[in-house]
Amino acid sequence: MHAVAAPLALKRDLLTGTEWSPAQLRDFFRLATEMKARPDRYRTVLAGSVFVLIFEKPSLRTRVTFETGIANLGGTSTFLDHTAARLSEREPVRDIAKNLERWVQGIVARVFAQETLEELAANANVPVINALSDKFHPCQALADFFTLEERFGGLRGLKLAYVGDGNNMCHSLLTIGARAGAHIRVATPAGYEPDAAIVAESKRVARETRGKIEIVRSPEDAVAGAQAVYTDVWASMGQETESAAREKAFAAYQVNEALFEQAAPDAVFLHCLPAHRGLEVSAGVIDSPRSIIYDQAENRLHVQKAILHTLLT
């Protein structure tokens, strides 16, 4: 069917990114590279498969790339809009999962609570993919590190600085970055650090891969010499009432020209989008030639096709 070797056996769900070992991650990136370079070889790998996309939160990149990716692989998808009502409001998540497993071959869920995903996965005998939760965003982080591998030729020892909120995006960069052997420095204000258990697990994996995880307070310390500088919104979806307080707390954490100049000469800027120019990042940085935000967005498609292929074939 295709030239690339089959990846190592994986668990059938992708809920956090911790399901994959460093070796499995390397296999996954090789598959994503092959699928991006030779898309015609994969046009029918999901022929006859139907997927449901359940979204409690709005989406541009995640929805379009999953729907397009499924179609590109020969499958079809059904979208369930739960932005007006949470998944469990009409009937229990367990019952939803038990129904869906009778009809579809996979569930892609973008939700508020990580527990919703875990309940879906525990009750559905089909793969469940985390398309974003309050705790993790593995599809985005996989696309980010795939993009960095394309740019720099490898990930082991790559220096990535994350500046801002210790949120779901930060958690997934730590989780995937540790498995890739990257060196990650996270700078957050006091009280906004990433989850301590996720940091500890990432440090444990990093010791195996010769990666490094550091949590610091100073944005300048994080960015100094970094090859990649990453930020995200200061108030995630569901935190809108905290926006004013967060803008005050994060005022010194904007990725602007002065901060970005302290990175390596060949450094690139990343953001998962949507972005707020003038808040977490200046327009001069995000719109500069060193910004690779649209490469990241493009690679969401290729990486998500590889996720679907890996979990369902």
For the annotated catalytic residues, the residue numbers are 110, 137, 140, 232, 272, 300
Angstrom distance (rounded) from CA 155 to CA 224: 18
Angstrom distance (rounded) from CA 273 to CA 217: 24
Q: How many CA atoms lie within 13 A of 4 on its CB side?
A: 22
Cα end-to-end span (Å), the chain: 11
Query: In three state form, how does the secondary structure of 139-171 look?
Result: HHHHHHHHHHHHHHCCCCCCEEEEECCCCHHHH
Angstrom distance (rounded) from CA 156 to CA 17: 18
Which among 77, 68, 13 is positioned nearest to 43, based on CA atoms?
A: 68
Peptide bond into 7 cis (omega under 30): no
E strands of 64-193, at which residues? 76-81, 106-110, 128-130, 159-163, 183-187
